[in-house]
């Protein structure tokens, strides 16, 4: 790539996954998980990655986060190659236990700001308050994580991720383990946050409905070893529900892509 | 908590009555020489308390144990953090623990005397030896129990190296650290009293262990028992009240248990 003699100015903030391969070598056999994954995500885009469970979605996200190293290929954020984890790409995990149990909700949200020492005390206070209000946890700021419900923990994790002010928000099925009512309100909050701050979001899900509700574009993955089969553009007007006109057409298209693997 | 306290009080009262009954029954001739009456024991206790001698003894013992615990804790943390940051250092620390852990502190006395002479230093040395190895074992078990997720959250927001260790690893392993510190305290307290009986005799200052030794020398058995009571009471106070308090403020509040 890039051998045509021209120097391209990378579009700023664009996330590019180029020919990424990943095989886990555990025990006696090797497991090919990602095979030539390619995808480009523009700054401010909300992309869902949809695929059957076990197809390598989490592995792909962890490669982008720098928590896992691809065997070959490259991941670029803007002009920079991803070499390891960093606060420009914050992950919201599926696991409720991602909050640090020895810190209150408030301290968890303030943690990325304190670590990176970019802000004054007042500024930290202000950002924490704003983010907690945004996810509706302002009354729980002094609670410890073990005192929160699963949905509240995920809200706090989102508030913490936003506090790091990342270029890309990487979300690995963060709402998969909450009840459906809570999931709907979390989805709505996430859209509001995205519309307000326009971070790039890569949102992983195995749930077609969730992908249609959330994504501006939806990348469908094949079963293992995962590749991107197709990227479907989703121009449905927001806010979306299952009865929004056009919902079922996109749902069917995605369903067919998943089934005809 | 309340119930536990009441049970203990009842138990102590029953024990005291049995003790006093045995002494006064005259069942064992000369019993008062070896098993003094509670009146004599508390008399001796009152005497050392009122003269202020007790506070000097306690202060000296607690001073030594605090120094020993501090040195032991810092060394244990440093060695454990080194052990988790490098495979080579891990096997080095592992070997050191395997060799040193089963070695009774008292067996090191001749060496301690040769190296430090007689005074505070050999006592602190024995205390550090008593607590260092079990604390390293606990801290390492704690570090190894940390879910990968916490470390990844730390790395994700930009932490690495020693900052990751201090901000994530140490608090995440805190239940184990506290358990290790409790074991360390109990072992240090025993090691201190034993070591004082041997080293505390030469200087002008001494602690509770030295006091016991001295009372035995003067065949003042009530004084020996008075010191034993003080040692037990301090042990109970630290274990129940101090560690109970720390647990309530930390692991219990955080919903973390080892
Ligand atoms: N660290 C690992 N070592 C070995 N195999 C792994 C590892 N992580 C994931 N896998 C395997 O890779 C496959 C894809 O996993 P994952 O990326 O978690 O899929 P998904 O998130 O799409 O469900 C699974 O079969 C899983 O067992
Ligand atoms: Mg997954």
Q: What is the pLDDT of residue B210?
A: 85
**Which residues have C-beta within 8 Å of that of residue A183, sequence separation ≥ 6?**
A175, A210
A167 close to A10: Cβ distance less than 8 angstroms: no
Rounded distance between C-alpha atoms, residue B222 and residue B215, angstroms = 8
Contacts with A82 from chain B: Cβ below 8 Å: none
CB contacts < 8 Å between A and B, how many?
A: 59
To the nearest whole Å, the CA of B218 is away from the closest chain A CA by 53
Question: In the structure encoding, which two tokens stand for residue B129, read together?
Answer: 């030896």
Query: Ligand 1 within 6 A of A27 CB?
Result: no
CA A26 to ligand 1: nearest atom: 4
A135 close to A155: Cβ distance less than 8 angstroms: yes
Q: What burial letters (b/e) apply to B51-75, b meaning 16+ CB within 10 Å?
A: eeebeebbebbbebbebbbebbbee
pTM: 0.85
B42 Cα: distance to centroid of ligand 2 (angstroms): 68
Q: Do B255 and A67 touch (CB under 8 A)?
A: no
Question: Rg of chain B over CA atoms, in angstroms?
Answer: 22
Contacts with B254 from chain A: Cβ below 8 Å: 101-102, 144, 146
ipTM entry: 0.91
Q: Residue A177 in 3-state DSSP?
A: coil
Q: Do B171 and A95 touch (CB under 8 A)?
A: no
Q: What is the pLDDT of residue B162?
A: 82
Query: Ligand 1 within 6 A of A53 CB?
Result: yes
CA distances from A16 to A34, A126, A227, B159 (A): 15, 33, 15, 25
Residue-wise DSSP of B143-187: HHHS-HHHHHHHHHTT--HHHHIIIIIHHHTHHHHHHHHHHHHHH
Q: Do B254 and A97 touch (CB under 8 A)?
A: no
Contacts by residues A129-132 (CB-CB < 8 Å, ≥ 24 positions apart): A131/A159, A131/A160, A131/A162, A131/A163, A132/A105, A132/A106, A132/A159
B146 in A contact zone (CB under 8 Å): no
Helices and strands in chain A: count of H runs, count of E runs: 7, 10
* Nearest ligand to the CA atom of A34: 1
CA A51 to ligand 1: nearest atom: 22
Rounded distance between C-alpha atoms, residue A113 and residue A120, angstroms = 9
Q: Residue A107 in 3-state DSSP?
A: helix
To the nearest whole Å, the CA of B91 is away from the closest chain A CA by 24
Question: In the structure encoding, which two tokens stand for residue A56, read together?
Answer: 């390598």
Nearest CA in chain B to A116: B158
* Cα A10–Cα A16–Cα A21 angle in degrees, nearest 5: 140
A239 close to A188: Cβ distance less than 8 angstroms: yes
B161 in A contact zone (CB under 8 Å): no
Q: Do A144 and B171 touch (CB under 8 A)?
A: no
- Residue (of A74, A83, A85) closest to A10 by Cα position: A74
Contacts with B174 from chain A: Cβ below 8 Å: 102
Question: In the structure encoding, which two tokens stand for residue A138, read together?
Answer: 């302002």
User: Where is A36: in which H helix or E strand?
Assistant: strand A29-41
A242 Cα: distance to centroid of ligand 2 (angstroms): 24
Beta bridge partners of A39: A17
pLDDT in tens, chain A (261 residues): 444 444 454 567 899 999 999 999 877 788 999 999 999 999 999 999 999 999 999 999 999 999 999 999 999 999 999 999 999 999 999 999 999 999 999 999 999 999 987 788 999 999 999 999 999 999 999 999 999 999 999 999 999 999 999 999 999 999 999 999 999 999 999 999 999 999 999 999 999 999 999 999 999 999 989 999 999 999 999 999 999 999 999 999 999 999 876
Q: Residue B36 in 3-state DSSP?
A: coil
Q: What is the pLDDT of residue B216?
A: 82
Rounded distance between C-alpha atoms, residue B78 and residue A75, angstroms = 37
Indicate the length of chain B as a whole number: 258
A223 Cα: distance to centroid of ligand 1 (angstroms): 12
Domains of chain B: 49-249 (1.10.3720.10)
Q: For A35-82, how does the pLDDT look when each residue is reduced to its tens digit (9 = 90+)?
A: 999 999 999 999 999 999 999 999 999 999 999 999 999 999 999 999
Rounded distance between C-alpha atoms, residue A62 and residue B55, angstroms = 60
Mutate to test the interface with B, among A96, A100, A112 (most CBs of B within 10 A): A100
Question: In the structure encoding, which two tokens stand for residue B254, read together?
Answer: 């955080």
Pick A112's closest partner by Cβ from B157, B171, B253. Answer: B157
What averages of pLDDT result for each successive group of 10 residues across chain B (258 residues)?
A: 81 89 76 77 90 89 92 93 86 92 85 84 90 92 93 95 89 92 89 80 73 85 90 88 92 86
CB-side neighbour CA atoms (13 Å) of A71: 13
């Amino acid at each position: 790539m890039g051998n045509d003699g021209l120097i391209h100015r990378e579009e700023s903030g664009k996330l590019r996954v180029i020919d990424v391969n990943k095989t886990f070598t555990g025990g006696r056999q090797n497991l090919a998980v990602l095979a030539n994954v390619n995808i480009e995500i523009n700054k401010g885009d909300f992309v869902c990655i949809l695929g059957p469970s076990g197809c390598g979605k989490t592995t792909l996200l962890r490669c982008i986060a720098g928590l896992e190293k691809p065997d070959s290929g490259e991941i670029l954020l803007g002009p920079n190659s991803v070499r390891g984890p960093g606060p420009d790409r914050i992950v919201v995990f599926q696991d409720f236990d991602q909050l640090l149990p020895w810190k209150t909700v408030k301290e968890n949200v303030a943690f990325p700001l304190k670590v990176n020492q970019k802000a004054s005390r007042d500024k930290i206070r202000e950002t924490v308050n704003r983010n907690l209000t945004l996810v509706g946890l302002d009354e729980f700021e002094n609670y410890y994580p073990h005192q929160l419900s699963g949905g509240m923990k995920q809200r706090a994790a989102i508030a913490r991720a936003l506090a790091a002010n990342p270029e890309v928000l990487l979300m690995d099925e963060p709402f998969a383990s909450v009840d459906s009512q809570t999931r709907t309100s979390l989805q709505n909050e996430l859209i509001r946050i995205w519309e307000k701050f326009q971070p790039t979001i890569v949102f992983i899900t195995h749930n077609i409905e969730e992908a249609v509700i959330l994504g501006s574009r939806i990348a469908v993955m094949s079963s293992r070893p995962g590749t991107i089969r197709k990227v479907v553009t989703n121009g449905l007007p927001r806010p979306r529900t299952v009865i929004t006109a056009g919902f079922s057409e996109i749902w069917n298209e995605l369903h067919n892509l998943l089934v005809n693997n | 908590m309340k119930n536990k306290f009441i049970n203990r009080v009842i138990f102590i009262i029953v024990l005291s009555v049995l003790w006093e009954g045995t002494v006064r029954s005259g069942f064992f001739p000369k019993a008062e020489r070896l098993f003094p009456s509670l009146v004599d024991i508390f008399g001796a206790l009152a005497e050392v308390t009122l003269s202020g001698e007790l506070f000097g003894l306690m202060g000296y013992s607690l001073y030594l144990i605090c120094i020993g615990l501090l040195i032991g804790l810092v060394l244990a943390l440093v060695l454990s953090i080194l052990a988790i940051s490098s495979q080579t250092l891990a096997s080095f620390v592992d070997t050191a623990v395997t060799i040193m852990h089963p070695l009774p502190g008292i067996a090191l006395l001749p060496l301690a005397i040769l190296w430090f002479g007689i005074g505070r230093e050999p006592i602190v040395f024995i205390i550090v030896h008593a607590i260092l190895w079990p604390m390293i074992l606990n801290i390492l078990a704690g570090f190894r129990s940390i879910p990968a997720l916490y470390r990844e959250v730390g790395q994700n927001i930009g932490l690495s190296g020693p900052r990751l260790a201090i901000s994530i690893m140490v608090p995440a392993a805190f239940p184990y650290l506290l358990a290790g510190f409790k074991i360390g305290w109990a072992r240090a307290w025993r090691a201190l009293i034993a070591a004082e009986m041997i080293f505390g005799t030469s200087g002008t200052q001494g602690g509770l262990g030295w006091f016991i030794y001295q009372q035995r020398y003067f065949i003042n058995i009530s004084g020996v028992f008075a010191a034993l009571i003080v040692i037990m009471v301090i042990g109970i106070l630290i274990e129940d009240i101090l560690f109970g308090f720390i647990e309530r403020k930390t692991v219990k509040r955080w919903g973390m248990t080892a």
